[in-house]
Structure formats: structure tokens, C-alpha cells
Amino acid sequence: SSELTQDPAVSVALGQTVRITCQGDSLRSYYASWYQQKPGQAPVLVIYGKNNRPSGIPDRFSGSSSGNTASLTITGAQAEDEADYYCNSRDSSGNHLYVFGTGTKVTVL
Amino acid sequence: QVQLVESGGGLVKPGGSLRLSCAASGFTFSDYYMSWIRQAPGKGLEWVSYISSSGSTIYYADSVKGRFTISRDNAKNSLYLQMNSLRAEDTAVYYCARGPGAMVTFDYWGQGTLVTVSS
């Protein structure tokens, strides 16, 4: 199965912008989705498709993609955005499997 | 509102079996694909299996193929995961999730149930 690679950790000053990236061969063919997970809680979908936000997700979250890299951007990060973020996509092998990224811990300073 | 509630987790010895359940409400269960996704303690997310809305199409991650069986009962709005030949590396929180959707989405998740495989 293919892999999706993320930076382990990033930090951002309160109110500033942070971009989280996800790299993998499958992203050349399939969209990535992004999930936010806070300690002790289930993941929450924040971005899917080209750049779509589920109802209730603030518009400071946005997504983009180029080649084998998908990105999640938080514009004007808030304290409550401190969390782990995971990307996910389909496996590039055509086996109808799904993969998650390695996860990025976002710290808001 | 959409609710997914997992149950059935617990402590089991290596080689043992366990059956997880997920009760769904707040949406037309029979219209959606459903999945199990797990997270080992302190680790990332791992997709385990999905089942199509009718139950006719099923896929598994290589790590559980041949040991785990996913199923659903649309009349009871329930999803199941039968786990056999359990190993220590199967220790994780198991989440029930709605999806995958058309755009590779798992849009709603339950709170998870912890499975611990230990002697």
C-alpha cells in the first residue's frame, strides 16, 4: 500500500498562518481529506475534495493540492486549533484500500 | 444529528476473539458505506475495513485480512467487526466511521472503543 507523509510537528503564533503538507503518490490521482483530532477525542473532518469544508468548520481552514502534495492551511490560527491533523486518501495501487498520513502535531504559541 | 456509538471493546488474550458493534442513528444507514478505523496508543490512524451500503462489497487492510470480518445489518442500523486470532499489535481504539464517501471522506466518527490484546 502507498504511504502519505506529513511533518511530525509544526508551530504557529496565535493569529498567524500555518500550512501542513501531505505527500504521496496517490495524491496525483485522488483527493485528500483532512481530519483534526484533539487529545482523547475522535477525529473530525475539516477539509475534503478540492477545497470543501463540512458544515460548522471555520473558513480559516482551507485545502489545496499540487502534484503529489496536498496542503491544509489555517489562516489566523486560534488556540483551539492546537491538535493533531491527519490527511487521508485512497491507495494508489488500485486495491480499493485507504491510507492515512503520519500526522502533524500543530502547536499554537 | 448523526450518531455512531461503538461497543464491545475490552481485554482479550493473544489468539482470542472479539466482536465490535456500532449503532448508527440520525441518517439513513442503508444509504452509506461504513468503515472501521483504528488508532494504536500514541500512534496515528489506520484504516481497517469498509463495507458498501448493501454489504456486497468489502475490503480489508492487509494487516487484518483473513482475521477480521466486517458486516452490517441495515434493518438494525448496525455495523460489526468480528476480530479473530488477535495479536498484541491489534491493540488500539477502534472507530466506526461513515464512509468512504465520493471524495475519500469519512465524514462522521464514533467516539471509539478500546481493544487491548494482552496476556
State the pLDDT at residue A2.
60
State the pLDDT at residue A11.
97
The overall average pLDDT reported for chain B is 96
Q: B59 at the A interface (CB within 8 A)?
A: yes
State the pLDDT at residue B88.
97
State the pLDDT at residue B66.
97
Interchain proximity B35–A98, CB inside 8 Å: yes
CA angle A86, B2, B40 (to 5 degrees): 35
d(CA B36, CA B38): 7
- Report which residue type is found at B37: I
Question: Which pLDDT tens digit goes with each residue over A24-83?
Answer: 999 998 999 999 999 999 999 999 999 999 999 999 999 999 999 999 999 999 999 999
Nearest CA in chain B to A96: B59
Q: Which residues of B touch A43 (CB under 8 A)?
A: 45, 95, 106, 109
State the pLDDT at residue A107.
97
Give the containing element (helix H, strand E) for B17. none
By Cβ distance, the residue of A31, A43, A101 closest to B104 is: A31
State the pLDDT at residue B48.
97
State the pLDDT at residue A92.
78
Mutate to test the interface with A, among B104, B106, B107, B109 (most CBs of A within 10 A): B104
Question: Which pLDDT tens digit goes with each residue over B76-97?
Answer: 999 999 999 999 999 999 999 9
Residues 6+ apart with CB under 8 A from B102: none
Look at residue A95 and tell me whether its pLDDT is greater than 80: no
Residue A17's Cβ-side half-sphere holds a number of Cα atoms within 13 Å equal to 9
**Quick check: B2 and B96 in contact, CB under 8 A?**
no
Interchain proximity A1–B46, CB inside 8 Å: no
User: β-strands A61-66, B18-25: how paired?
Assistant: unpaired
pLDDT grade, residue B104 (50/70/90)? Answer: confident
Question: Which pLDDT tens digit goes with each residue over B22-75?
Answer: 999 999 999 999 999 999 999 999 999 999 999 999 999 999 999 999 999 999
Nearest CA in chain A to B105: A33
Look at residue A1 and tell me whether its pLDDT is greater than 60: no
B/e letters for B44-57, b = 16+ CB within 10 Å, e = fewer, are ebbbbbbbeeeeee
State the pLDDT at residue B103.
77
Mutate to test the interface with B, among A22, A29, A36, A45 (most CBs of B within 10 A): A45
State the pLDDT at residue A96.
77
- 3-state class of B56 per DSSP? coil
